Amino acid sequence: MELTIEEVRCWLVDIPTIRPHKLSMATMGSQTLMLVQIRCQQGIVGWGEGTTIGGLSYGPESPEAMKLTIERYITPLLLGQPLSGVTALSEKLAAVRGNSFAKSAIETAFLDAYGKYVGLPMAALLGGARHQRLPALWTLASGDTDNDLNEAHRLLETGRHHAFKLKIGARDLETDVNHAVRIKQTLGEHIHVHVDVNQGWSMAQALSAIPRLQAAGITLIEQPIALTAVDQLIDLAKRFPVTLLADEAVTDAQQGLSLIRQGFSGAFALKIAKAGGPFQALKLAHVAQAAGISLYGGTMLEGSIGTIASLHAWSTLDLEWGTEMFGPLLLKDDVITQPLIYKDGHLSLPTGHGLGIDVDQDKLAYYARK
């Protein structure tokens, strides 16, 4: 018997961060998780998450807008519908234009519920896990060089992380480049460090900074210029041996194919939110793999639910540049009963059906926005 969807509920959950997290477009002191639950017959429920960075600083969807979109426009499409394959879900969601973050939360909740129904982990629904542990770096984003170095040394000593990402682009070019070069040179040649500019530079600034970062041993530079400056991004990728990572410039399979056709030779950052869900993100990954484009598992600084959904998708791939699935570690608390396991520079895939997690109802009630 096919199960049908009986209820869809959303919550806005505000959780403080362990320290200010400085990006080129915002400094975060808390994170808002938009959580969604799909409830089906026989008491089967699925959980999903929609999260962005700094409210509307990153993109056009805020957590509040995601909740409204799901409640007013997506829920009527789903109620009474069978819990069948994800392709049928995608066809239903096509009636709503855009709103990939909200759709990602719904697709995640759908896959979680479906996995519980058929008795399989989400990764099995996405092609099957090839890895039970994935490398996970930590982002150094306090904005202070000495603080970032102290943080990096502590994490290296404990073994929790073996690689790092630096958030730059908010300050003047000289300060940012000196900051990145000093951290890389201090940590040494065997510690991977890459920088994320978050679209913070002009073409002229990128041409000035990239050779210096490359000479210091930084091997990956993420989205140095505006997402709309595709020609310039392609030009930069051709000019330098250092790998340029397209993030905001590539959201889904169609954009990925367009970049490849225009000659882009860097790497793609995968994010389930910008693609519209785990299944949709894998479509982009497979296009990239066919063209020889290397991959990186990115985050929107999700909590555990969004992070685990991403992890299930990434586990089906070989990610040449690893992942940055550290989001739950940036938050002071969590809403799942068993925290994720970060150890030896890796993050372990949960066991169990669907996502493989349980939500702590008391924590959800405590942090949910009233």
Strand 27-40 and strand 5-22: the pairing is: antiparallel
Active-site residue identified among 22, 103, 165, 167? 167
Residue 78 dihedral angles phi and psi, to the nearest 5°: -105, -30
Distance CA(132)–CA(349), nearest Å, equals 5
- The residues near 92 (Cβ < 8 Å, ≥ 6 apart) are 77, 78, 81
Residue 314 dihedral angles phi and psi, to the nearest 5°: -65, -30
Note whether 24 and 198 are within 8 A (CB).
yes
| Degrees to nearest 5, angle at CA 139 with 138 and 142 | 130
Pull the structure tokens for residue 232: 């310039």
Residue 100 dihedral angles phi and psi, to the nearest 5°: -65, -30
Q: Cα dihedral sign for 113, 118, 119, 122?
A: negative
How many other C-beta atoms lie within 10 A of the C-beta of residue 347? Answer: 24
Distance CA(220)–CA(163), nearest Å, equals 12
> What is the maximum span of the chain, computed from C-alpha positions, in angstroms?
64
Pull the structure tokens for residue 61: 């969807």
Residue with tokens 């990602």: 104
Residue 271 bears catalytic tag: no
Give the residues across from 21 on adjacent strands: 28
HSE-up of residue 74 (Cα within 13 Å, Cβ side): 33
Strand 346-348 and strand 243-246: the pairing is: unpaired
- Catalytic site positions: 167
